[in-house]
Amino acid sequence: MLKHINLLRISAWVLSSWLFFPVSCSLGLFAGTHWVAHHDARDARRGEIPHPNAYLVAAVPGDSKPFQALPLRLLDEFKHKNPQASFLLPTHSGQFSIGSRNATVSFVATPSEPDTQIVEVTLNDETGAFFRYEASRNTIKPIYTKLWYHGYMFEAFPYALAIAIALHIMGVRMRRKINNESQD
């Protein structure tokens, strides 16, 4: 019984501590940002519109770079300027840098049917994006997109703050109850 009371006292003290408040808020913000990113993922097989900033990879014959990465929103423009480009990738995986943004693109291409591949592209920069699509020589069919965007932190902040406040209030109430019981 004594262990149980000590554990409750310690829990109440930690939860009501102002030092714990920023820790719980930060943890809530971290978890909330992941939660928002998870719920903003889009599955085209369910009819959801893919993120326009998801990147795809194309092979352009005769170009100085073996692969080019482009956002989905620029697909039509790219196909018009590069009619010889293929979305079927000659290698199964790779990684390369793009632009001056300190961004890297990595991809994995898996053959699925004759003349098609399932391609998974990951953009690593200040935001980050994952895009899975089915590729043929001239077309792509989006399957799934997921972004990691620093703006998600602002969406999660009110929830993280509410959780931190609720934990603090719970700790204060526990502390008062334990103090009142010990005085009786």
* Whether 27 and 115 share a structural domain: no
Residue 1 lies in a domain: no
The values of phi and psi at residue 40, to 5°, are: -95, -5
* Whether 30 and 97 share a structural domain: no
- Would you state the pLDDT for residue 3? 57
Q: What is the pTM of this model?
A: 0.75
- Would you state the pLDDT for residue 146? 92
Give the residue, 184 or 73, on which the prediction is more confident. Answer: 73
Number of domains in the chain: 2
Output the average pLDDT for the chain: 86
Residue 170 lies in a domain: yes
Residue 176 lies in a domain: yes
* Whether 66 and 18 share a structural domain: no
* Whether 143 and 158 share a structural domain: no
* Whether 106 and 72 share a structural domain: yes
Give the residue, 2 or 47, on which the prediction is more confident. Answer: 47
- Percentage of the chain with pLDDT > 90? 26
How many other CB atoms are found less than 10 A from the CB of residue 58?
20
Residue 2 lies in a domain: no
Q: Give the residues across from 70 on adjacent strands.
A: 56
**127-142 CB burial, b ≥16 within 10 A, e <16:** eebbbbbbbeeeebeb
Which residue reads 């603090």 in tokens?
168
Residue 4 lies in a domain: no
* Whether 104 and 121 share a structural domain: yes
| DSSP of 45-80 | GGTPPPPTT-EEEEE-TT-SSSEEEEEGGGHHHHHH
* Whether 140 and 161 share a structural domain: no
CA distances for 137 relative to 52, 59, 80, angstroms: 21, 10, 14
Residue 110 lies in a domain: yes
* Whether 82 and 102 share a structural domain: yes
* Whether 81 and 141 share a structural domain: yes
Give the residue, 113 or 58, on which the prediction is more confident. Answer: 58
* Whether 142 and 157 share a structural domain: no
- Would you state the pLDDT for residue 91? 81
Task: Read off the pLDDT band of 132 (50, 70, 90).
Answer: very high
- 158 close to 136: Cβ distance less than 8 angstroms: no
Residue 41 lies in a domain: no
Give first-to-last CA distance, the chain, whole Å: 17
* Whether 61 and 136 share a structural domain: yes
* Whether 140 and 58 share a structural domain: yes
Domain limits at 177? 14-36+152-183
Residue 129: alpha-carbon gap to chain centroid: 7
Residue 5 lies in a domain: no
Structural element, H or E, at residue 87: none
